[in-house]
Amino acid sequence: MKEWKKYKFEDIAILSTNKYYPKEDAKNYRCIELEHINQETGRINGWSNSIEQKSAKTYFKTGDILYGKLRPYLKKYYLAEFDGVCSTEIWVIKGKTNLVCNEFLFYLIQTEKFNFVANISTGTKMPRADWDYIKSTIFKIPPLPEQRKITEILSTWDKAIELKEQLIEEKKEQKKGLMQKLLRGEIRLPGFGREEAKKTRLKGYIKEIKRKNTKEKINKILSVTNTNGFIEQHEQFDKGVASSNLSNYKIIEKGEFAYNPSRINVGSIDLLRNYEAGVLSPMYIVFKTEKEKLLPEYLYQYVKSDEFYAQIKSFLQGSVRQSLSFKALEMIRLFIPKSLKEQEAIARLLSTADKEIELLEGELEQLKLQKKGLMQLLLTGIIRVKC
């Protein structure tokens, strides 16, 4: 096997600066801006038209590597699948074909080493990667046949990751469609649904709870996030932001809900299930369901639905920072089956769909970790591959 050789990045790659000016070139190209490149995936979510642009852009060709130099910690990169133009905040990088293939270079820019150097940036509020740092950084490069084999292996993982992400999105869409029909009463589960499916307000089905931690017996401080629901506050903030005096904090117990009135519109509402009890900042609203009429698991599925968020928009109050009061929450209308068994069956079915999605998301994270581990081994030469 031929040995790997050390090269400065500028010896294996070229930074393209071929500019496109919309007033001078009448041809329309697909134009990629930073927002079109997804973080850490190597994929794009769309493009705009170059003829609609006013500022200068950079030309790129199929096979060129696009790398977001603005806020490089976002890890935005793309191996171009078509000719086009892109923002000047995006580097267009080409491999020197006698030394490196673009596909291998594409994986090289995803390494921790490249990311570290790219983040030795200029600017504070708008940090930008500095080409002078990048170009002088030394990388070990294998012979071209080995590069192609490494690329083949890593692209297999990329394809598996992409397919898993597609499956997750399909499952989410399936659940959303099922949820919409069940929570509106448009379809009923076998054995239920003889009464007409009517919507009713939450008033009378939920009750606000204002327990204070006056004796400070509970010191587990919780927050409600829009992505992970209830978490301990120290997980969200590096330093504690809570008051040293917790006597004014609200107590929440397992099976109860809480939401941030100013962030419920982005999903900061959850049902406490993973802790027996905790305390929340006084700004939170805590409530429970009247369990003889409404099961918390059923309401949980509803407050995570698109219909719920569509409804609360008309009840938000305030001009600068809109919020949802508990009285406004009581005005929300939804279909509540009279039978608790039907509520339970619906909640169980939707919860099963949630667990299936969570399982797939766990498998996706494993694939990403495997790819990261492979990159560490293959792109450093720790493990060699036969060509």
CATH number at residue 89: 3.90.220.20
Tell me, yes or no, whether 158 lies in a domain: no
Same domain, yes or no: 131 and 198: no
Same domain, yes or no: 210 and 88: no
- Predicted local distance difference test score (pLDDT) of residue 233: 80
Same domain, yes or no: 114 and 227: no
Per the structure, the count of domains in the chain is 2
Sequence-distant (6+) residues with CB within 8 A of 132 are none
Same domain, yes or no: 332 and 201: yes
Q: Is 27 buried (19+), middle (13-18) or exposed (0-12) by CB count in 10 A?
A: exposed
Tell me, yes or no, whether 288 lies in a domain: yes
For residue 215, the enclosing domain spans 194-336
Same domain, yes or no: 13 and 127: yes
Tell me, yes or no, whether 387 lies in a domain: no
Tell me which of 119, 141, 163 is where a domain ends: 141
Tell me, yes or no, whether 298 lies in a domain: yes
Tell me which of 321, 336, 351 is where a domain ends: 336
Same domain, yes or no: 129 and 224: no
Same domain, yes or no: 216 and 107: no
Same domain, yes or no: 24 and 136: yes
Same domain, yes or no: 320 and 244: yes
Tell me, yes or no, whether 117 lies in a domain: yes
Are 101 and 95 spatial neighbours (Cβ–Cβ below 8 Å)?
A: yes
Tell me, yes or no, whether 362 lies in a domain: no
Burial 123-161 (b: 16+ CB within 10 A, else e): eeeebebbeebbeebebebbebebbebbbeebeebbebb
Q: Is 367 buried (19+), middle (13-18) or exposed (0-12) by CB count in 10 A?
A: middle
Backbone φ and ψ of 312, nearest 5°: -65, -20
Tell me, yes or no, whether 302 lies in a domain: yes
Same domain, yes or no: 137 and 201: no
Strands 84-86 and 30-32: parallel
Burial 318-357 (b: 16+ CB within 10 A, else e): eeeebbbebebbbebebbbbeeeebbebbbeebeebbeeb
Same domain, yes or no: 21 and 120: yes
Tell me which of 141, 174, 208 is where a domain ends: 141
Structure pTM?
0.82
Are 324 and 261 spatial neighbours (Cβ–Cβ below 8 Å)?
A: yes
Same domain, yes or no: 206 and 303: yes
Per-residue pLDDT of the chain (387 residues; tens, 9 = 90+): 788 999 999 999 999 999 999 888 889 999 999 999 999 999 999 999 999 998 999 999 999 999 999 999 999 999 999 999 999 999 999 999 899 999 999 999 999 999 999 998 776 778 999 999 999 999 999 999 999 999 999 999 999 999 999 999 999 999 999 999 999 888 888 887 677 778 999 999 999 999 998 888 888 999 999 888 999 887 665 555 556 778 889 999 999 999 999 999 899 999 999 999 999 999 999 999 999 999 999 999 999 999 999 999 989 887 778 899 999 999 999 999 999 999 999 999 999 999 999 999 999 999 999 999 999 999 998 888 887
Tell me, yes or no, whether 81 lies in a domain: yes
